[in-house]
Amino acid sequence: MARYDNYTNKEMQAVTIARQIKNDQIVIVGTGLPLIGASVAKRAFAPECQIIVESGLMDCSPIEVPRSVGDNRFMAQCAVQWPNVRFIGFEACEWLHNKERMIAFIGGAQIDPYGNVNSTVIGDYNNPKTRFTGSGGANGIASYVNTVIMMQHEKRRFMEKIDYITSPGWMDGPGGRTRAGIPENVGPQMVVTDRGILKFDEETKKMYLAGYYPTSSPEDVLENTGFDIDVSRAVLLEAPDESVIKLIREEIDPGEAFIKVPVEE
């Protein structure tokens, strides 16, 4: 008989994402864990949320997790198939009308204490050690939409100073976004990692540990963060329900495209 109490940190991360999504929200996602999290939210926690992707597909409800934002599994279960430019216009319209119903999930290779994300290069821009795919739609999203950032929690990713700012967070602290010429009333809301949830202090805009998983601890987070971080406000997060883990493994990602199921001994 299959077990569902042996959840992995990636499954916990996906469920944590799902718990952040509210019923009335429009959720911008890509593929991978954010999409699994949004799919869990739509099936289990927030059935009235609307999933959209940057390829222009609106109000998606995929039966099984797609492999890309142009996957037919997205197209077959969406309300509207717009060209990409209309998606961008929709995103801008939400901001211009001061709507707060939209939230987006982005990721990257590096992040700093203020939530600035690098998904462009490691090392010097003109002579990098590694060059990544870059922004895609992430810069525009991070500039004009409230975001949740997805990261694997390692010292080499959580850095005091990142090599390049692809997607703006709170820049250099209070007033930083205004000085950079981008809206101050939106920005990163939290970082969801494989160790816990990190949020941003209202006054300083610096990251702090808000919650940690049953498989982690504040000490574990400190050890794996490359800058000083406040852990005094951290609480233990609830483990995922077995029915939700079953939903992920049997319906959302049965092919283990993004989350591998532990091998039973």
Q: How many CB atoms lie within 10 A of CB 136?
A: 15
Alpha helices in 21-133 (DSSP H): 33-40, 72-75, 84-96
Within 8 A by CB and 6+ apart from 263, the residues are none
Rg (CA), the chain: 18
Q: Helix and strand tally (H, E) in the chain?
A: 8, 14
Phi, psi of 13 (to 5 degrees): -60, -45
54 is catalytic: yes
Among 141, 43, 35, smallest CA distance to 88 is for 141
- The catalytic residue among 11, 48, 54, 242 is 54
* 3-state SS, residue 237: coil
Active site residues: 54
